[in-house]
Structure 1
Amino acid sequence: MAENSRSFVAACAQMRSGKDMTANVDAAAKLIREAAESGAAYVQTPEMTNILVRSRDELFAAIMPENVCPTLAAFQELARGLEVYVHLGSLAVKLDGHRAANRSFVIDPEGEIVARYDKIHMFDVDLPNGESWRESATYRPGESAVGVDLPWGRLGLTVCYDVRFPTLHRALAETGAEAIASPAAFTRQTGEAHWHVLLRSRAIETGSFVIAAAQGGKHDDGRETYGHSLIIDPWGRVLAEADHDRPGVILAEIDLAQSAEARRRIPALENGRRFGVLPQTSDPTPLRDVGT
């Protein structure tokens, strides 16, 4: 950690997870070790770190409930051995025979789980190229926003499709988050169109750092993800980027004092107002100029 107690080095471990959970865990562990050896105190992995597979049958044959998940236990031991915060962007965790959770875990340097977050917004879309996804058919959506206090400040938790919902990010910022995690497995099509602009917008709107570890490349089940893991400052500047879709590590120095400075310069959180929405009328009354 830097001398400033508000500063730390953050890392994103970009992955290409597949159907083999053992291989995925080994790949993630290698990248986490590389990040820690490069000075990272906080390392984030992407959404679906443990498995990326489209078949429900294959998924449910592989995953386990949280309390008996050897993958989670392995990462707890790794965090303890490296003495770093390990943020598993998400694991697929079995809830019952029909539903799973897309669940983030933040593990502290003692190996303890200090935060859990279940992805709230389900990716149920039909894309122009014929690609179709119904995440809600497999995963139970979360119901609560989650923030966690780290030694340097508060981190808000989101996962992938959540990035398209600014109200979630604003709520996290309004309750003290100065950095927001956005681990993802963005499709190549939507990533090429929207990944950078969405993440930079969420940083600018909230005056927060955004840390986004991504899946990238062609996966075992045939899907393609965009990669391009990003770390963005509260002014919307890209501090680090994996400018490709291959596995690897990016790092950046995070000074959370910069969040307060950005919010002072553009106090959008402070200036926000609650408002209603009037019903549409067939003959709307024109607005009057102020003072008339």
Structure 2
Amino acid sequence: MRVAAIQMVSGPRVGENLAHARVLLQEAAQAGAELAVLPEYFCIMGMRDTDKLAVRETPGDGPIQRFLADAARELQLWIVGGTLPLVAGDDAHVRNTTLVFSPSGECVARYDKIHLFRFSNGTESYDEARVIEAGREPVLFDLAARDGSSWRIGLSVCYDLRFPELYRALSRQGADVLLVPAAFTQTTGRAHWDVLLRARAVENLAWVIAPAQGGLHENGRRTWGHSLVADPWGSVVAVREEGEGVVLAELSRERLQQCRTQLPALSHCVL
């Protein structure tokens, strides 16, 4: 199955971001991708954290969700909508939500980001919990590819990457592929992005698709980029360092089975 990890440098205006996303999704479809995954915050990287509140949507209704559904249907793609802001339990917070749309335009899965990023080094400071309400449950969905093969796909977002227990929970539920849409900072990305993604692939003997924000944003934030696809042995098979673009790769069930047969570590878990 051909897949696309889409890298963006999103700004504060939703309409402009959706227009950029549409061009990149069309490029992925024309290249033969069946599954396209957008990065975290693909629809808005605001000037302030609270800008998300003004564009939050209710589940099943809103321009961002309509955009994803229409693009999936028109391009005949499975689209994983990075993250978008959905209503939370109070007016001061949103859920940072991944929605999955099938080629029919139907929303088939929802995952609310569980782990909320907090970081301060004296120069940069981030605290997602100020505006985001955490999710609670791991989520997977099943994808039937055009060749008749079936893929079980586990969802995660950005900071989740630092919590291997989430990925082991997805693995125990049969995940073949792990998705990690992200907006890693340049500081943390340079230090940890590649090694964490490859570790999650190795630990779970699973394909990893990690689309990222990658560049200097209008709000002054610089994200690390390096959107990539890693195979179940932890080898990076495709990567884009910076700037908007589409990272294409072929997922092979044969490669998945080869890795899991030669090193049956998943069957050795005792905890």
Pick the TM interval, shorter chain.
Answer: over 0.9
Q: Provide the residue aligned with 2:101 in structure 1.
A: 107
C-alpha distance 54-265 of structure 1, shift in aligned 2 (>3 A): farther
State TM-score, norm by structure 2: 0.94
Conserved? CA contact 1:179–1:256, under 8 Å: no
DSSP-derived class of the 1:226 partner? coil
Q: Distance in 2 between matches of 1:68 and 1:109?
A: 18
Correspondence list, 1:163-242, <5 A: 163-242=161-240
Which of the residues 245, 264, 270 maps onto 1:267?
264
Deviation at 1:18, TM superposition (A): 1.0
Deviation at 1:63, TM superposition (A): 2.8
DSSP-derived class of the 1:246 partner? coil
Which of the residues 39, 59, 68 maps onto 1:75?
68
Conserved? CA contact 2:10–2:44, under 8 Å: yes
Deviation at 1:171, TM superposition (A): 1.1
Q: Provide the residue aligned with 1:42 in structure 2.
A: 35
Q: Distance in 1 between matches of 2:63 and 2:20?
A: 15
Partner AA of 1:38 in structure 2: A
Across the aligned residues of Structure 1 and Structure 2, the Cα RMSD in angstroms comes to: 1.2
Deviation at 1:216, TM superposition (A): 0.8
Q: Post-superposition, which runs of at least 4 consecutive aligned residues in structure 1 deviate over 3 A?
A: none
Asked if residue 87 in structure 1 is aligned to residue 77 in structure 2, the reply is no
Partner AA of 1:133 in structure 2: Y
State TM-score, norm by structure 1: 0.88
Partner AA of 1:39 in structure 2: G
Asked if residue 139 in structure 1 is aligned to residue 132 in structure 2, the reply is yes
Which of the residues 224, 228, 248 maps onto 2:245?
248
Deviation at 1:57, TM superposition (A): 4.0
Greater displacement, 213-222 / 51-60: 51-60
Partner AA of 1:246 in structure 2: G
Q: Provide the residue aligned with 1:125 in structure 2.
A: 119
Structure 1: gaps spanning 5 or more residues: 1-7, 275-292
C-alpha distance 20-257 of structure 1, shift in aligned 2 (>3 A): same
Q: Encode CA deviations 1:86-136: one digit per residue, 9 max, x unaligned.
A: 11111122324111011001100000011110011000222x352111111
Which of the residues 254, 258, 261 maps onto 2:255?
258
Conserved? CA contact 2:52–2:94, under 8 Å: no
Correspondence list, 1:144-155, <5 A: 144-151=137-144, 152-155=150-153
DSSP-derived class of the 1:68 partner? coil
> Kindly, what percent of the aligned residue pairs are identical?
41
Structure 2: gaps spanning 5 or more residues: 145-149
